[in-house]
């Protein structure tokens, strides 16, 4: 354990912030999804870091991370199906142009 | 007589320690030398396999194989290599250079990385990780990515089409491959490859023949060999995803394909044919290495034999086969093997009765599945045509 | 010394690739940089002595999600327009928010006294995971499988061609 725990947490925080910037500033819907994936990866790094440094004997941290993987996979599948369906109807994937509910 | 591998290892270690290196560096150098040796053996095997494949293809198809370059054409591989080295690299205009150049490297790397976890003999293994089986599947996924990269970065509509088709086939066939790979894991109670090999008494091909069959079929789809070879369907898509590659970049795809076929042979050996086990393999590990490579080569020959005898199947028939037959059968097989294994262990039977019962259960599932699949086939109605009159000169009666 | 070097290298690759993901103009290049970021994260998991999570990361993210994303990008491209502006009007505020969140999280990471334990990692974590998933966490496990089934059916129905 020659790498202190703070370093891992800072890397995870940086990855989370970069993903947050991606979600808030991209126009392409798939670009936003990629930002969400970066945020989920950052959360997983955090979980595994806490498992490793705070309580490595109990395996709960890894199980939590496995559930995050599962939910991320399901969400990407449904999200991309939605994006493809919207593209077929509106012929665009730029989220600013998908504003039917706005008056 | 001590064993050859241990002898060489001790000798090198003594030399390095004599030069003043500390223990860690010695270990690191020994491990590097070991992995370099494995990679070199892989490449030498591929050079030999190219000749074997072409000669075998020739003989099975009732023609001579290569017979000009040297006696029986054994220098054909070297001629091919020299030709590939001297060809010019052509990069299509508009292609993304980074992706275009990385794709063949990634395809080769993903196949070579699988060799890191193979057990060559007792205690001769690269990295005996606890999740060896999952590692193999995960690294295989990199190869799929390389195909997608190659297809897209060629800036060529047909390469992209070929790449999309082949990626769709590859990710579909990953599912029965992984599920049937779980059966040896189940029977050996571990995911470490060394434990799986050592738990095979008798070989898993006898205890789980259906899993073997499903794994062989899905692996042949994964490596893109006939009857699943629409990855390089020459008559349909020029050359699929590697249309725009020339020279050594194409050579890397070519070598990666042969090496992948041999690696799949090695995988089938490890999981179902007992790996390095055989008579006297525990006493002399060098015999274990010989058995391992021998069995892998035998499986490679069987796969080549199947490839050279069968025509290609259509993509919709192939996807039907996967989603409607292989996946349900592999899942049912997994559940049945799990239940049967638990029940038979509770009953504490003799080892050979266990094998016979498991074999029977597998055959039962296969026959039932084939019967159910056969019932849904549309009956082919053959009409009986009356004999037609052949052309006769006018005036005579038609027969 | 060597673990520190490897950690710094993996982190630089991951963060560099992540920055390239969110700033690149070509969305397909972003997807391939995302794959590089996933590889970096997998190597961080290996350093944290969680081999099962590292392998599942490669298998699920690179082997499935990345391929899904690349396919979706290929299916929703109109032109090969490389000069389409990719950031929207509020990128300034987004940058401020991202930097702010990083500062806050980093400050928390450095100011809390984490109760680091000196116990060693169990050698065969995968057996433990299997046992825990089927005994203590069996209900979330079953719900996750139902969730995946719902996502599978939903994605197929939503993404189907309407005839």
Q: What DSSP line would sit under A8-66, residue for residue?
A: HHHHHHHHHHHHHHHHHHB-BHHHHHHHHHHHHHHHHHHHHHHHHHH-SSSTHHHHHHH
- Is C85 in the A-facing interface, judged by CB distances under 8 Å? yes
Q: What is the mean pLDDT of chain B?
A: 83
Structural domain includes residue B193: yes
Domain boundaries, chain C: 1-77, 123-163
**What's the CA gap between B263 and B257, in Å, rounded?**
10
**Highest-scoring range by mean pLDDT, B219-223, B311-315, B351-355, C120-124:** B219-223
What is the mean pLDDT of the segment spanning B199-206?
86
Task: Tell me which chain B residues have a C-beta less than 8 angstroms from the C-beta of C67.
Answer: 144-145, 148, 167, 171
The answer, yes or no, to whether residue B195 has pLDDT greater than 60, is yes
Residue bearing tokens 């057990």: B119
Angstrom CA distances, C126 to B186, B330, C21, C47, C73, stand at 14, 23, 32, 17, 35
Chain C interface residues (partner B, CB cutoff 8 A): 28-29, 32, 35, 51-52, 55-56, 58-59, 62-64, 66-67, 70-71, 74, 123-126
What is the mean pLDDT of the segment spanning C6-20?
94
> In this complex, do A37 and C72 lie within 8 Å of one another by their Cβ atoms?
no
Of B27 and B138, the structure prediction assigns the larger pLDDT to B138
What domain range is B287 assigned to? Answer: 87-374
> In this complex, do A48 and C50 lie within 8 Å of one another by their Cβ atoms?
yes
Of the pLDDT bands very low, low, confident and very high (cuts 50, 70, 90), residue C76 is: confident
Of the pLDDT bands very low, low, confident and very high (cuts 50, 70, 90), residue B1 is: very low
> In this complex, do C51 and B96 lie within 8 Å of one another by their Cβ atoms?
no
Residue C14, token pair as written in the block: 């991951």
pLDDT in tens, B153-192: 877 777 787 788 888 888 899 999 999 999 999 998 888 8
The percentage of residues in chain B with a pLDDT greater than 70, rounded to a whole number, is 92
What is the mean pLDDT of the segment spanning B108-134?
87
- Is B160 in the C-facing interface, judged by CB distances under 8 Å? yes
**Exposure of B90 in the CB half-sphere (CA atoms within 13 A):** 9
Q: Which of A5, A13, A82 to mutate to test the interface with C (most CBs of C within 10 A)?
A: A13
The answer, yes or no, to whether residue C41 has pLDDT greater than 90, is yes
Residue C29, token pair as written in the block: 């290049």
| B84 contacts B116 by C-beta, under 8 angstroms | no
Residue C148, token pair as written in the block: 């995946």
pLDDT value at residue A74: 94
Q: In sequence order, what are the beta bridge partners of B121? A: B124
Of the pLDDT bands very low, low, confident and very high (cuts 50, 70, 90), residue B134 is: very high
The answer, yes or no, to whether residue C61 has pLDDT greater than 50, is yes
The answer, yes or no, to whether residue B239 has pLDDT greater than 80, is no
Number of domains in chain A: 1
What is the mean pLDDT of the segment spanning C76-97?
73
Structural domain includes residue A103: no
pLDDT in tens, B289-341: 889 999 999 999 999 888 888 887 877 888 888 888 899 999 999 999 999 88
Distance from CA of B376 to the nearest CA of C (A): 24
What is the mean pLDDT of the segment spanning C103-123?
86
Q: Do chains B and A touch (3 or more CB pairs under 8 A)?
A: no
> In this complex, do B134 and C63 lie within 8 Å of one another by their Cβ atoms?
no
Structural domain includes residue B142: yes
Of the pLDDT bands very low, low, confident and very high (cuts 50, 70, 90), residue B231 is: low
pLDDT value at residue B135: 93
The answer, yes or no, to whether residue C109 has pLDDT greater than 60, is yes
Structural domain includes residue A51: yes
Structural domain includes residue A22: yes
Task: Tell me which chain C residues have a C-beta less than 8 angstroms from the C-beta of A57.
Answer: 119, 122
Distance from CA of B356 to the nearest CA of C (A): 29
pLDDT value at residue A73: 93
Q: Which of B134, B142, B241 to mutate to test the interface with C (most CBs of C within 10 A)?
A: B134
- Is C137 in the A-facing interface, judged by CB distances under 8 Å? yes
**What's the CA gap between B212 and B217, in Å, rounded?**
9
pLDDT in tens, A6-63: 999 999 999 999 999 999 988 888 999 999 999 999 999 999 999 998 888 888 889 9
Distance from CA of C132 to the nearest CA of A (A): 8
- Is C26 in the A-facing interface, judged by CB distances under 8 Å? no
| B154 contacts B309 by C-beta, under 8 angstroms | no
Least confident piece of the model among A64-73, B273-282, B325-334: B273-282
pTM: 0.88
Q: Do chains C and A touch (3 or more CB pairs under 8 A)?
A: yes
Structural domain includes residue B35: no
Give the ranges where B61-156 is alpha helix by DSSP (H). Answer: 76-85, 97-112, 132-153
Number of domains in chain B: 1
Of the pLDDT bands very low, low, confident and very high (cuts 50, 70, 90), residue C88 is: confident
What domain range is A89 assigned to? Answer: 5-97
Other CB atoms within 10 Å distance of the CB of residue B172 = 18
pLDDT value at residue B235: 47
Structural domain includes residue B286: yes
> In this complex, do C147 and A25 lie within 8 Å of one another by their Cβ atoms?
no
| A31 contacts A79 by C-beta, under 8 angstroms | no
The answer, yes or no, to whether residue B241 has pLDDT greater than 80, is no
Of the pLDDT bands very low, low, confident and very high (cuts 50, 70, 90), residue B250 is: confident
The answer, yes or no, to whether residue B84 has pLDDT greater than 70, is yes
Least confident piece of the model among B58-67, B323-332, C15-24, C40-49: B58-67
**What's the CA gap between B125 and B118, in Å, rounded?**
6
The answer, yes or no, to whether residue C34 has pLDDT greater than 90, is yes
What is the mean pLDDT of the segment spanning B40-56?
89
Structural domain includes residue A15: yes
Fold for domain C1-77? 1.20.120
The answer, yes or no, to whether residue C106 has pLDDT greater than 70, is yes
**What's the CA gap between B226 and B236, in Å, rounded?**
15
- Is C97 in the A-facing interface, judged by CB distances under 8 Å? yes
The answer, yes or no, to whether residue A72 has pLDDT greater than 70, is yes
Question: Which among B318, B35, A92 is positioned nearest to A100, based on CA atoms?
Answer: A92
Domain with residue A79: its CATH number is: 1.10.287.3510
Structural domain includes residue A102: no
Of B232 and C111, the structure prediction assigns the larger pLDDT to C111
pLDDT value at residue B294: 92
What is the mean pLDDT of the segment spanning B384-389?
74
Of the pLDDT bands very low, low, confident and very high (cuts 50, 70, 90), residue C87 is: confident
């Amino acid at each position: 354990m020659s790498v202190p725990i703070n370093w891992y947490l800072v890397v995870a925080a940086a990855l989370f912030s970069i993903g947050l910037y991606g979600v808030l500033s991209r126009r392409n819907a798939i670009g936003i999804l990629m930002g969400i994936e970066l945020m989920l990866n950052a959360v997983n790094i955090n979980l595994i870091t806490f498992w490793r440094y705070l309580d490595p004997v109990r395996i709960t941290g890894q199980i939590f991370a496995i559930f995050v993987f599962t939910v991320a996979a399901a969400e990407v599948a449904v999200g991309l199906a939605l994006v493809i369906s919207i593209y077929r109807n509106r012929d665009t994937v730029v989220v600013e142009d998908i504003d039917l509910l706005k008056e | 007589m001590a064993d050859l591998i241990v002898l060489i290892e001790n000798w090198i270690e003594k030399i390095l320690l004599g030069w003043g290196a500390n223990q860690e560096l010695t270990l690191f150098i020994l491990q590097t030398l070991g992995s370099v040796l494995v990679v070199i053996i892989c490449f030498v095997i591929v050079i030999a396999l190219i000749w074997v494949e072409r000669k075998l293809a020739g003989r099975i198809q009732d023609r001579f194989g290569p017979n000009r370059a040297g006696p029986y054409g054994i220098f054909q591989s070297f001629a091919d290599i020299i030709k590939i080295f001297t060809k010019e690299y052509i990069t299509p205009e508009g292609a993304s250079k980074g992706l275009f150049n990385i794709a063949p490297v990634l395809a080769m790397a993903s196949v070579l990385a699988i060799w890191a976890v193979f057990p060559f003999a007792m205690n001769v293994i690269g990295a005996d990780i606890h999740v060896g089986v999952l590692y193999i599947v995960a690294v295989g996924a990199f190869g799929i990515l390389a195909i997608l990269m190659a297809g897209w970065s060629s800036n060529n509509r047909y390469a992209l089409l070929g790449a999309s088709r082949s990626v769709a086939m590859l990710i579909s066939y990953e599912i029965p491959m992984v599920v049937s790979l779980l059966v040896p894991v189940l029977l050996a109670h571990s995911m470490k490859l060394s434990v799986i090999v050592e738990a095979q008494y008798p070989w898993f091909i006898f205890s789980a023949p259906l899993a073997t069959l499903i794994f062989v079929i899905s692996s042949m789809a994964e490596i893109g060999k006939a009857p699943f070879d629409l990855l390089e369907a020459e008559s349909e898509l020029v050359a699929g995803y590697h249309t725009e590659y020339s020279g050594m970049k194409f050579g890397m795809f070519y070598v990666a394909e042969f090496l992948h076929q041999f690696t799949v042979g090695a995988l089938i050996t490890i999981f179902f044919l007992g790996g390095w086990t055989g008579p006297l393999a525990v006493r002399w590990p060098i015999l274990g290495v010989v058995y391992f490579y021998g069995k892998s080569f035998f499986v490679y020959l069987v796969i080549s034999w199947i490839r050279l005898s069968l025509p290609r199947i259509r993509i919709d028939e192939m996807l039907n086969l996967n989603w409607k037959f292989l996946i349900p059968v592999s899942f049912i097989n997994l559940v049945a093997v799990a239940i049967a294994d638990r029940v038979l262990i509770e009953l504490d039977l003799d080892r050979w009765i266990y094998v016979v019962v498991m074999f029977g259960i597998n055959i039962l599932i296969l026959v039932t599945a084939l019967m159910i699949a056969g019932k849904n086939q549309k009956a082919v109605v053959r009409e009986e045509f009356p004999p037609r009159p052949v052309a006769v000169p006018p005036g005579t009666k038609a027969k | 010394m060597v673990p520190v070097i490897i950690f710094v290298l993996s982190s630089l690759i991951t963060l560099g690739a992540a920055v390239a993901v969110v700033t690149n103009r070509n969305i397909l290049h972003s997807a391939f940089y995302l794959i590089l970021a996933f590889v970096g994260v997998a190597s961080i998991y290996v350093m944290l002595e969680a081999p099962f999570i590292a392998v599942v990361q490669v298998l699920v993210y690179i082997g499935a999600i990345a391929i899904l994303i690349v396919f979706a990008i290929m299916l929703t491209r109109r032109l090969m327009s490389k000069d389409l502006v990719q950031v929207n009007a509020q990128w300034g505020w987004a940058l401020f928010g991202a930097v702010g969140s990083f500062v806050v999280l980093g400050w928390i990471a450095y100011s809390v006294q984490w109760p680091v334990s000196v116990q060693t990692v169990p050698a065969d974590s995968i057996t433990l995971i299997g046992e825990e998933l089927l005994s203590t966490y069996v209900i979330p496990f079953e719900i996750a499988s139902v969730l995946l089934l719902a996502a599978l059916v939903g994605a197929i129905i939503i993404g189907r061609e309407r005839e």
